[in-house]
Amino acid sequence: MTPEHLDSHCFKFKTVTWNSSRRDMRAIFAQRYQVYCLERGFLQASSYPDGLEIDEYDVHSIFITASNQTSDVVGSLRLVQMHEGMCFPFRKHCTDLFDSESLPPIRDCVEISRVVISKVLRRRNDDTPLGVSSMLLQAPADEPVGLRSHGHEKRRKLYPLILLGMMQQAIICCKEIGVSHCYVSIDAALAQLLQRLNFDVEAIGASADYFGPVTPYILAIDKLRSDHITTTRTC
């Protein structure tokens, strides 16, 4: 994983908050409605008559966006922060944790959730909903991400550019706000891909149905190398 992979493409990754640009926030919630309600059917579209998928955690969240050259939001995720009387969203679904007593204090954690990427950018026949090629997810755990043996052009096409860029920006944000750990609930194949990208996610519980079958993982920010937090630019 090298910064030039990100810098050579036409996307910009940034952090926004609930009180940031109204245009960005509407784009985030509209894209979530498209993916969670219309495409994947996780949520009832009729519950969001304005076409914006918003829940009670958003006001307490920080958002990471990916934008194209015309400043249109093409992907986003949120970092849910805890406040008194709340629990992380994943705890409502992933109840069978291995050792909940050993988890870090909630004030030192955030949960990465509501990760979406525009359908416009999921154009490969084998793309998953997160814009990751199934070829990458099915590759052996010790095979380098990018499939160097297949040449630069194929490597570029397979590289999980937007997901990786948003993850990098999320790590930058966590460091800025003093967070030590991130929770994320994903399937085993995506967890393996993140590990191949040197994001050392560790399973903390049994699989559960949380917008599909997933396993809860934790990521220790201080274990990441410095090249995970290289800023990304527009081309």
Identify the band that residue 130 occupies on the pLDDT scale cut at 50, 70 and 90.
Answer: low
The whole-number pLDDT of residue 147 equals 43
Output the CA–CA distances (angstroms, integers) from residue 157 to 123, 154, 166, 179, in the order listed.
11, 5, 17, 33
pTM of the model: 0.83
Flag the least confident range among 51-55, 160-164, 180-184, 219-223: 160-164
Q: Name 188's Cβ contacts closer than 8 Å, sequence gap at least 6.
A: 215
* Statement: residue 143 has pLDDT above 90: no
Q: What is the mean pLDDT of the segment spanning 189-211?
A: 91
Is 80 in contact with 60 (CB distance < 8 Å)? yes
Percent of the chain, pLDDT > 70? 75
CATH number for the region 3-229 comes to: 3.40.630.30
Instruction: Place 223 in a pLDDT band, splitting at 50, 70 and 90.
Output: confident
Question: Who wins on pLDDT, 122 or 88?
Answer: 88
Averaged pLDDT for residues 171-177: 94
Q: Which two three-digit tokens encode residue 80?
A: 């849910």
| Banded pLDDT at 230 (limits 50, 70, 90) | very low
Residue 50, token pair as written in the block: 């304005």
What is the mean predicted confidence (pLDDT) over 96-116? 92
pLDDT at 137: 63
**Which of 17-31, 43-57, 195-209, 216-230 is least confident?**
216-230
